[in-house]
Amino acid sequence: MSAPFKTIGLIGKPNHDGAALTLQRLYTFLQALGYEVFVEQRVGKQIAELPDSHILDVVALGERCDLAVVVGGDGNMLGAARVLARFDVAVIGVNRGNLGFLTDLDPDDFEAELEQVLSGKFVEEQRFLLEVEVFRHAELKSANLAVNEAVLHADKVAHMIEFEAFIDDQFVFSQRSDGLIVTTPTGSTAYSLSGGGPILTPELNAMALVPMFPHTLSSRPLVVDASKQVKLKLSPENTASLQVSCDSHVVLALLPGDEVVIKKAEKKLRLIHPESYSYYNVLRQKLNWGSRLY
């Protein structure tokens, strides 16, 4: 059987000594195995003996590589994933962050598991993303992708806003609150979880709408089919500066009266795990759930 990956891209956490050491080890390890290796430009200069021709931006890595290895935390993985999902490139993470829900490999002992992955022994998941669009007077003003969540909020802390929510153009509710989180299953263990949202297992074709400090006791998280389209109509009476954030990294500015359309993106993220991976093991470890009783 031919090897599943031939060209590998390395993406890292900039200005982080631990990540730089891991990137150098990865580059040396993969070179010794005979792979063609490219490195993302923000960290390329940290790799010894790396030719300039093998330093590329993330888009070029997506175009050239079969596999991308992301060294850092979940935030680094999210930033890379929003770009790499546009290409048919598999992605695996080495954890140099805190929680590491998306980054499986141990930075101090990644070689054995990574070599197994490179030989074709891995688990692959297809994680969907959200496409977020902002319309003003029926004209598209801005758009971006989110792996974890799209969050409607004011630019000030604890500032109430008014909006209406529609699903496939059917009115669902109006709300006065600090905002709304629309999360994928991938993001259900992130910001949404802190806001009281449900955990959605990765294979679900679903997204959750989680109100942020609603001005009513009856407002609750709502899980809907991800094939539906969510539309948020902002009240013209809003006085605060509003925005919608994608994974807390990309911010799209809003004005009162704007409409935010959130739907499942066409492209998916190909997330690779070692064969030993178990989603429930990750939940148990990261959330400190109890161990087996018998």
Is 144 among the annotated ligand-binding positions? no
Is 192 flagged in the annotation as binding? yes
Cβ neighbours for 60, distance < 8 A, ≥ 6 positions apart = 38
Is residue 189 part of an annotated ligand binding site?
yes
Residue 248 annotated as binding site: no
Of the CA atoms within 13 Å of residue 39, those in its CB half-sphere come to 28
Say if residue 54 carries a ligand binding annotation: no
- Distance from CA of residue 175 to its chain's centroid? 27
**Residue 149 annotated as part of some ligand binding site:** yes
74 is in an annotated binding site: yes
Q: Is 225 annotated as a binding residue?
A: no
Task: Read off the amino acid at residue 206.
Answer: A
The residue among 75, 70, 69, 127 whose CA lies nearest residue 98 is: 75
**Which one, of 127, 78, 80, 74, lies nearest residue 98 by Cα?**
74
239 marked among binding-site residues? no
Active site residues: 74
Q: Residue 66: which residues within 8 A CB-CB, separation 6 or more?
A: 4, 5, 6, 7, 8, 89, 90
Is the separation of the CB atoms in 24 and 48 below 8 Å?
yes
194 is in an annotated binding site: yes
Q: Pairing state of beta strands 259-274 and 149-154?
A: unpaired
Question: Is 179 labeled as ligand-binding?
Answer: no
- The bridge status of strand 170-177 relative to strand 179-183 is unpaired
**Residue holding tokens 């018998």?**
294
Give the residue among 239, 182, 171 at the shortest CA–CA distance from 212: 182
Q: Which residues are annotated as a binding site?
A: 74-75, 148-149, 159, 176, 178, 189-194
Q: Which residues are annotated as a binding site for NAD(+)?
A: 74-75, 148-149, 159, 176, 178, 189-194
